[in-house]
Structure 1
Amino acid sequence: MSLSSFLKLVEIQTKLASCIPFLLGNIYALYHYNQFNFKNFILMFMSLITFDMATTAINNYYDYKRAKKTHGYNYETHNAIVKDNLKEGTVIGVILSLLIAATIFGTLLFLNTNIVVLLLGMVSFLGGICYSFGPIPISRTPLGEIISGLLMGFIIVFLSIYIHVGNSLVLFSYSNSMLSININLIELIYIFMFAIPTVNCIANIMLANNICDIEDDKENERYTLPIYIGKDKALNLYKVLYYIVYIDIIIMIVLKIVPIVCVITLLTFILVNKNIKLFYEKQTKKDTFALAVKNLMIINVVQIVAMVVGNLIVK
């Protein structure tokens, strides 16, 4: 398998969807806790990126295996296995190699931290694999948007903060046959609010993908959320999720969860709203699906820059 075929198989361009919440979490840890563990940063990044590539490859492999419609953009052009005529054995080998690498790096991260990382890592691995694998993959159900949003948008943000600050957020203790769990509830709520822009943007990437694929999904028996609620309601949900992001940012600024400089993120509404209108006009994988990815980049890259500036001002 050539490098270009590998990059197509794992859809390398989509890895920003996991890198952005990872970066945001690390910056938040610096801003709020003034802590940063470089070793944990590298271990989590390697586990995250290899696992993300593995789940994408699994998704492409099972879309290829289960496809009933074997022509058109999604099958002949979008799927690297068909487009580059990849051997099934090679694809399976790549998937297993990536999963092994992700497991090794994840285990090393757990050994360098504690059981909370292990438990959340297991949830992430299970959710990521079940997303594409099994008799009824999550991606073929109405739960795809919420699961992908929470796993990638919230858990990645939380873990990328936790690997630096550890027990100040969640503490497990066992003594005299008693298991105790202490959670800093206020901080957890703040982190969830901080993660809402990534949760919603990632959910909307999935939602936009499913809206574009409604007809193909019906043929391939993928019963996604837009098929259940209809295209019109799915489009309205797409818009509302973005609006919630900006309401959340305003609340975070007022509560001083993020630095005041994050007000510049609100300016991205002009571009995002323009992209929402374009998507409303036409919904195709080829022409407008990328707008959801662009919105993720527009909102969260500006937020990253604002948080970095906020860190520098505080320091």
Structure 2
Amino acid sequence: MSSLASDLAREVAAGGAPGRPSASRAPRSARRTRTRLGRAAMYVLLTVLLGIVLLPFFWMLSSSFKNDVDVLTVPIQWIPKTFVWTNYAKIWTEIPMAGYLANSAFLSIVITILQVLTGSFAAYGFSKVRFPGRDALFLAYIATIAVPWQAYMIPQYVMMQKAGLTNTFAALILLQAFGAFGVFLMRQYYMTIPDELNEAARIDGLSDYGIWARIILPLSKPALASLALLTFVNTWNDYMGPFIYLSSNQLWTVQIGLQSFIGQYSAQYAMIMTGSVISVIPILAIFLAGQRYFIAGIATSGMKG
């Protein structure tokens, strides 16, 4: 009884009547309810946005199992009436799909490695090495991102043509081995690494090359993964570069190779969708494998300017 009496006394002292919830509990419960409703509304909104983003991919996947005449029907058949499974076997004999995929993979891997190497090394110089005019040179280099590719597309082609590199992979590799965006991304991440680590390494006798290779790079895995993923996806999906510089069918990438299904008066839409689905699979696999590093790299690359 004494315990019950003490509880009632505490409720009265808190401003509430005995047997009723105190005034402080009601707002707390209301805030908790509003938080739950807001969270539920956010989940619903994100689910709707996710559905809108994935809708074209679902249509592409659905169309890859149809006949050509059923791809562009109105209203849209989201689920094929008859699944044409032979599309995924037929595409390998209709065009040299394996060769196109190999060419895309070769260019994407080589350009990704070179961009990660050159971007990380240049970013180290712009972030950890002090020299006159460093910041002005960095701003001038980053300003090139604002220049559209169409503005210097023709001069680049003339240079490659005079060098005898057209219709070769070397032209694409040389033009895309360096990127201002990669330098910017890596520099922003390097700025979050304390300079004391560099100073301690110099005291131990390491050169700038050793500091970059043995200290900076191991600490930059998220940013490196982000740059590698973005570069790989951009190179894999590149259409204009291979279209301009590669004229031989044996050198075509998968994006150019899908043109084989477009004729003068008609197009094999089902085969185009099938090839598009196949071309998306490597990118999806790479993103799922490195998404943890990718998200961490993007989240931390803009923390310090």
- Greater RCO, CA 8 A, separation 6+: 2
Normalization by structure 2: what TM-score?
0.32
Normalization by structure 1: what TM-score?
0.32
